Structure 1
């Protein structure tokens, strides 16, 4: 999971660096790079790429691509550590979707943990004057859609191979990003080409190692480690882009992550009891 979070942090930092490249173009290259790996895996292992739950797979791909696009847009307005932190409130929206779509029940204490995380967002917005409103709206949209993705994947369950699900996502991102880039194409210059190639590599490595982590250790141990992505990304932001984090920034981020880790701890405790 530490390798996974470092890869995702590198991807986030690369997106921040590519500020002169249009967002849909970044989505295109990020998706195309990972698509190379997913297609190769499916073909090598002779796994059918069509899948069985086409409607759910397409819906997951649409929600995932939209979430990714909004997040990449938000990075152009926010410090990358803040953007990643707010995006991580996706489990709150996932829980809300699960109540209505999967008829799941959320304990009152879990809602209190979610409130702690939301207070962190309000602190970031209310006291951190570096927080751009447009960026906040974009990353919240990314978080809502990411929460929907979790529920859709849960609905799909084990009926599909994980790489088939990711492959749909990457195919959709490649097509949508490519089509929407046609009229606003900006030809990358010099080292930007290399960074665009690495977007897909970082994304794929992050996805693979995250999957391996969840396969080899219990969720309550692995899941909290995922929040190291915030630490990695914020550190890159400070040293590479000169981003500034105030005391309120750290307090807000700590509350967001703290509330979500408490929820993971409580769920694992309930599952083991």
Structure 2
């Protein structure tokens, strides 16, 4: 849009001068200059000199106004892509979660670097924000590693639902670090989230030994649960840091720190574990490429949805991640979620939806 606006602004004075050349010889230059300036003013029609012109402003408004519901469609499509990527992560069980995260960082780095060069944003960022950018990259990449490990060790639906506890942790950390108000509503949403997680984890001291009859062993299921909670905690910290930085940092610069530090962090962890290796199967390599592609596509469409739609409806629509996770778990893995998982999902989704609606109402006031 910037080149088009610049071109239009450059053409307006020429049109105005062309019209004032036909002025009578006795007319003074001062009114002509004022008339030319009025003609060149933004929002005025160069032909009829009205502000706005009925025949010109209406088509321009139609061009600028986004299609109703387009932002929500972008958000829904991003949820679909994120869920597909999560399903593929569970498919490649022979590849360590840290390896998947490192490969995703390399794939997204190839896309982010040209964008930074084109936008001339630099690779370091403002001096006062670099410490926050480093924390954002470290915590964000750690969050993604925990998420991939959770997808591999527990069911897709359970890991996705527990990941949606992120808004609750965000409210708590925002209250601690940003001094935002923690209301009784936030406490109620936190209680709903805790109940939902308990229904999904089903600890034996509350539900008895019969509840441990799940597809994987209970110890592995518990590891995946803690990994999903770790993902939610680190993601909440990342959101608080992004809120602290605000709009002072370019979006692609934030992603650059995320993928660059994520790659470094992944390499260090893999050297410690001694498990660095590429998958031998060609299909697994294809899955890795698709994980990076779907993850990047989901990020792009989610960003587009946030840009043209209010945050409240976008946050509510994002709960479709849970629905897609249930569907893909049944289709790809033939794993029907238990009623305990469904009940826990309803509690967590109700909590995150209530928090989104409350924030939406507060911002509208």
TM-score by length of 2: 0.72
1:176 deviation in Å? 1.9
Q: Which residue of 2 aligns with 1:21?
A: 95
Counterparts of 2:142 and 2:269, CA distance in 1? 12
Counterparts of 1:270 and 1:153, CA distance in 2? 20
SS for the counterpart of 1:50 is coil
Counterparts of 2:162 and 2:330, CA distance in 1? 18
Deviates more, 1:119-128 or 1:240-249: 119-128
SS for the counterpart of 2:122 is coil
Task: Report whether the alignment pairs 1:108 with 2:184.
Answer: yes
SS for the counterpart of 2:335 is coil
1:120 deviation in Å? 0.8
- Tell me, yes or no, if the aligned pair for 1:89 and 1:143 is still in contact at 8 Å: yes
Counterparts of 2:223 and 2:277, CA distance in 1? 23
Q: Which residue of 1 aligns with 2:32?
A: none
Unaligned runs of 5+ in 2: 1-74
Deviations 1:162-199 (A, max 9, x none): 11101110111122223433421233121111111122
Task: Report whether the alignment pairs 1:45 with 2:119.
Answer: yes
Runs of 4+ in 1 over 3 A off after TM superposition: 127-131
Q: Which residue of 2 aligns with 1:76?
A: 152
1:46 deviation in Å? 2.4
1:138 deviation in Å? 1.2
Q: Compare relative contact order (CA 8 Å, sep 6+) and give the higher one, 1 or 2.
A: 1
Task: Report whether the alignment pairs 1:33 with 2:125.
Answer: no
Q: Which residue of 1 aligns with 2:161?
A: 85
Counterparts of 1:88 and 1:49, CA distance in 2? 32
SS for the counterpart of 1:243 is coil
Counterparts of 1:81 and 1:60, CA distance in 2? 27
Identify the match of residue 152 of structure 1 among 210, 219, 241. 241
Counterparts of 2:290 and 2:107, CA distance in 1? 8
Identify the match of residue 335 of structure 2 among 243, 249, 252. 243
Q: Which residue of 1 aligns with 2:65?
A: none
Q: Which residue of 1 aligns with 2:255?
A: 166
Counterparts of 1:236 and 1:40, CA distance in 2? 34
| C-alpha RMSD of the superposition | 1.4
Q: Which residue of 2 aligns with 1:11?
A: 85
Counterparts of 2:268 and 2:106, CA distance in 1? 13
Residues 133-212 of structure 1 aligned to structure 2 (within 5 Å): 133-182=222-271, 183-188=274-279, 189-212=281-304
1:114 deviation in Å? 2.1
1:147 deviation in Å? 0.8
Larger radius of gyration: 2
1:98 deviation in Å? 0.9
Counterparts of 2:324 and 2:336, CA distance in 1? 15
Deviations 1:64-95 (A, max 9, x none): 11111111111122111110110110111111
Q: Which residue of 1 aligns with 2:170?
A: 94
Counterparts of 1:45 and 1:101, CA distance in 2? 32
Aligned residues: 273
